[in-house]
Structure 1
Amino acid sequence: MQTFISSSQRGHADHGWLKSFHSFSFADYHDPQRMGFGPLRVINDDLIAPGTGFGMHGHRDMEILTYPLAGTLAHRDRMGSSGEHQGLVQAGDVQRMSAGTGVMHSEVNPSLQDTCHLLQIWIQPHTAGVAPRYEQQHFGPERKRGRLCLVASPDGAEGSLSIHAHARMYAGLFNGDEQAELALSAGHLAYVHLARGSLTVNGQRLAAGDALQLSETSLISVSGGQDAEVLVFDLGA
């Protein structure tokens, strides 16, 4: 079974400095039919104006992945005994923060000219109360071109980021004749989010911001990309 979700069905918030599109209920946007999918709880498509950002704020018991699409994000966090991390996150990087018992962090666009465009993803952990952790890796185009590259997983397989969740996140770049398949284990859910471009997934044509929600499906097939960047979530044990 598969359900197509148009980009126009997402929630939207315009705070001036921040324009955000919500795939699931978030903040002032509430849709009881869109409270998440399996452990996947948030996909926010954020545009942060130059010189602005999120001040220091807290999270607990959530796996938070930041996936920049354009521009630069300056990250800073405080994790108690785990210390403080600060640095820049740019397109091609993926950042993982396990909030666990509690973390304070800020995210700011340091550029005075360029908008920062990113996806922020929250996944519910399989275990509460873990020690907070931070990790960041670069997944360049050569790793994602024409394939679904594993970027986050429960066991850090294939050089991916390690998360405390029953979920695997893949990223891929597709254009022209490039195509790929991903087999799913029995009982797993899957969610496909197209970040940009256009792409055909299991026979459904997607444009930027569109998504496909899948259950009782054993295979995901992607093809026919036009400057496409896609995220695929394998959600299961």
Structure 2
Amino acid sequence: MSKSVLRQAKITPHRSSTRGHSEHGWLNSYHSFSFADWYNPNFTHFGSLRVLNEDRVKANSGFPTHPHRDFEIFSYILSGELTHRDSMLAKGKEGAQSDKFYRMHRGDVQFTTGGTGIAHSEMNEHKTDTVHFLQIWAIPWKRGLAPRYHTKHFEEDDKRKGFVTILSPLKAGEDATAHQETEAEPAIAGSIPIHADFAMGAGIIAAQSKFEWTVGAKAGQETKRKVYVHLPMTKNGRAKIRLDGREDVELAEGDGAFIDGVNAGDKLAVESIGGVEAEVIVLDTA
């Protein structure tokens, strides 16, 4: 039996049953943090993490064109497909501007800097299949940024070897020049740059196996950190994880956990203790 390593850390489960839930027919959405018509003063944000929605959108439906400002917004596709379209482009008219049109599948991440204002749509244009994805928002380190998109695919095999860093801070930091913004170099090579002291990791942990997440992802700017762990609902309830070797912090599908009192460089153990592999999301913030 593994033992706690992060004895100074406070780990508080956020059970799936305490999430907000919206059922609109075409959309089935669970909210880990206050969102839309659901408000809970205990779940407003965690560091710069503001929104974590686990969404299922039925075929031939989705989110029509809508605006965003001053949030860093990203979608992590678990199954099905989701089509992103920039509001400036009409369906079928993408042409050479295909960088602003993308049909996403499992392993893809679509990232948007809302900044001074941007509009897009996210639709499930598949004829029969539901799309299942996480929509996550972070608060940027400053307002009024230039709007920007990034889309990147992350390989399944890599996520089965250990946690893969999906997002890391823009290497040039808060005072990046326009050129550095265009270069969009992340602190961790191969990840998507975000305008926040924030990192995201994803791993697929085989049953009875363990991964370690390095707090701060070796890129965080602040030493004192907060980590939120989420176990998506992907295995019909059969996946289960344990954090930091603590039997009182075992998470079922849909559960999350707030981890306070950790520092950059600490090692967070995540064990898959169910009968199937567990896909785990780690959100690491100052």
Q: TM-score, normalised by structure 1?
A: 0.94
Secondary structure of the residue that 1:64 maps to in structure 2?
strand
Aligned mate of 2:229, from 186, 189, 192: 192
What residue in structure 2 maps to residue 40 of structure 1? 49
Q: What amino acid does structure 1 have at the position aligned with 2:55?
A: D
What residue in structure 1 maps to residue 251 of structure 2? 206
Aligned mate of 1:163, from 172, 194, 198: 194
Residue 256 of structure 2 is aligned to residue 216 of structure 1: no
Distance 1:68 1:160 in 2: 16
Q: What amino acid does structure 2 have at the position aligned with 1:230?
A: V
Q: What amino acid does structure 2 have at the position aligned with 1:224?
A: S
Residue 264 of structure 2 is aligned to residue 233 of structure 1: no
Q: Deviations over 1:165-205 (max 9, x none)?
A: 11000000001243221232541111001114221122221
Asked if structure 2 preserves the Cα contact closer than 8 Å seen for 1:79 and 1:103, the reply is no
Residue 30 of structure 2 is aligned to residue 21 of structure 1: yes
Secondary structure of the residue that 2:140 maps to in structure 1?
coil
Distance 1:166 1:133 in 2: 18
Distance 1:86 1:112 in 2: 19
Q: What amino acid does structure 2 have at the position aligned with 1:179?
A: K
Residue 73 of structure 2 is aligned to residue 64 of structure 1: yes
Secondary structure of the residue that 1:113 maps to in structure 2?
coil
Once structures 1 and 2 are overlaid, which stretch shifts more, 21-30 or 139-148? Answer: 139-148
Displacement of 1:86 in angstroms is 1.0
What residue in structure 1 maps to residue 209 of structure 2? 178
Asked if structure 2 preserves the Cα contact closer than 8 Å seen for 1:79 and 1:102, the reply is no
> What is the aligned length?
234
Asked if structure 2 preserves the Cα contact closer than 8 Å seen for 1:150 and 1:171, the reply is yes
More strand by share: 1
Once structures 1 and 2 are overlaid, which stretch shifts more, 160-169 or 141-150? Answer: 141-150
Displacement of 1:105 in angstroms is 0.5
What residue in structure 2 maps to residue 111 of structure 1? 126
Q: Deviations over 1:145-172 (max 9, x none)?
A: 0411100011321310011011000000
Residue 91 of structure 2 is aligned to residue 85 of structure 1: no
Q: What amino acid does structure 2 have at the position aligned with 1:13?
A: S
What residue in structure 2 maps to residue 12 of structure 1? 21
- Runs (4+) off by over 4 Å: none
Distance 1:220 1:191 in 2: 11
Asked if structure 1 preserves the Cα contact closer than 8 Å seen for 2:207 and 2:278, the reply is no
Q: Deviations over 1:29-59 (max 9, x none)?
A: 0001110111000000101011001110000
Q: What amino acid does structure 2 have at the position aligned with 1:227?
A: E
Calculate percent identity across the aligned residue pairs.
41
- Please report the RMSD computed on the Cα atoms of aligned residues, expressed in angstroms: 1.6
Distance 2:208 2:154 in 1: 22
Q: What amino acid does structure 2 have at the position aligned with 1:132?
A: P
Secondary structure of the residue that 2:122 maps to in structure 1?
strand
Q: TM-score, normalised by structure 2?
A: 0.78
Distance 2:16 2:88 in 1: 35
Displacement of 1:224 in angstroms is 2.6
